[in-house]
A = this chain, B = another copy of it.
Amino acid sequence: MAGLRERKKARTHAAISDAAIALFLEHGFDQVSVAQVAEAAEVSKRTVFAYFPAKEDLVVHRFADHESEPARVVRSRPPGVRPLAALRDHFLAGLRDRDPVTGLNDLPQILALTRMIMETPALRTRAVTFQDGAEQALAAALHETADVPELTARLAAAHVVRTHWLLAMDNFDALLGGRAAADRHPAAVADAEHAFALLADGLGTYV
């Protein structure tokens, strides 16, 4: 099980990331060098890169956990439930629970972190990269569990992932504008329902 080595690694990993994020939030991602992060975490620069493949990952490594989330939702849906409905309900549940990935969490720390990610091109790019993985995984899940052609599955996955992202961005922007999450929640739900209805019924009635 968890030997001393494993636990120490986990602690070091967290310590480095925490130190990094604290510094980044205070001075800005681009204004802090990896060497400074290493110093703050009382570790050598080489060790930082042993734990994180790139500077950006000091911040966005948590995103990796969510990479397979949509695919999981589709795969574990109850029988009889359509994939799109499962994905919509899961997003709505995320809104209700203030899941940060929905952009509707107004805890100051999370808001500040999200803001930094959005305003730092390198971080934003890295975050978008994770969407690719989510898209691939979701496409595979759709192709395998629903009986849908591969191209259709890939298109559907792309649309769903982008929809997620846009909805989250809108919610986040609202919170940045000073609104409380509870205040924004009803509109967030309405937007999400509209967006998923659009996915299901098409753009035909609009454009």
Which residues in A have some Cβ–Cβ distance to B below 8 Å?
82-84, 125, 128-129, 142, 146, 148, 151-152, 154-156, 158-159, 162-163, 165-166, 170, 191, 194-195, 198-204, 206-207
5 A-B pairs (CB sep. < 8 Å) = A83-B207, A84-B207, A151-B191, A199-B202, A201-B201
Q: Are B195 and A155 in contact (CB under 8 A)?
A: yes
CB neighbours of A142 from chain B (8 A): 207
Name the residue in A146, A152, A165 with the highest tally of chain B Cβ atoms < 10 Å from its Cβ.
A152
Q: State A154–B160 Cα separation when bound (angstroms).
A: 14
CB neighbours of A202 from chain B (8 A): 198-204
In the A-B complex, the 4 residue pairs with the smallest Cβ-Cβ separation, listed nearest first, are A202-B202, A200-B204, A201-B202, A158-B162
A166 and B170 in contact, given A125-B125, A146-B206, A207-B146 (Cβ under 8 angstroms) = no
Q: How many copies does the complex hold?
A: 2
CB neighbours of A154 from chain B (8 A): 166
CB neighbours of A155 from chain B (8 A): 162-163, 166, 195, 198
Q: Are A207 and B166 in contact (CB under 8 A)?
A: no
CB neighbours of A82 from chain B (8 A): 207
Q: Are B158 and A163 in contact (CB under 8 A)?
A: yes
Specify the chain B residue showing the minimal Cβ separation from A84: B207
Specify the chain B residue showing the minimal Cβ separation from A87: B207
- Distance in angstroms from A189 CB to nearest chain B CB is 13
Specify the chain B residue showing the minimal Cβ separation from A150: B170
Q: State A188–B189 Cα separation when bound (angstroms).
A: 38
Name the residue in A83, A156, A166, A194 with the highest tally of chain B Cβ atoms < 10 Å from its Cβ.
A166
CB neighbours of A125 from chain B (8 A): 125, 129
- Find A156's partner among B83, B158, B206 (CB 8 Å cutoff): B206
Q: State A150–B13 Cα separation when bound (angstroms).
A: 42
- Distance in angstroms from A156 CB to nearest chain B CB is 5
CB neighbours of A148 from chain B (8 A): 206-207
CB neighbours of A199 from chain B (8 A): 202-203
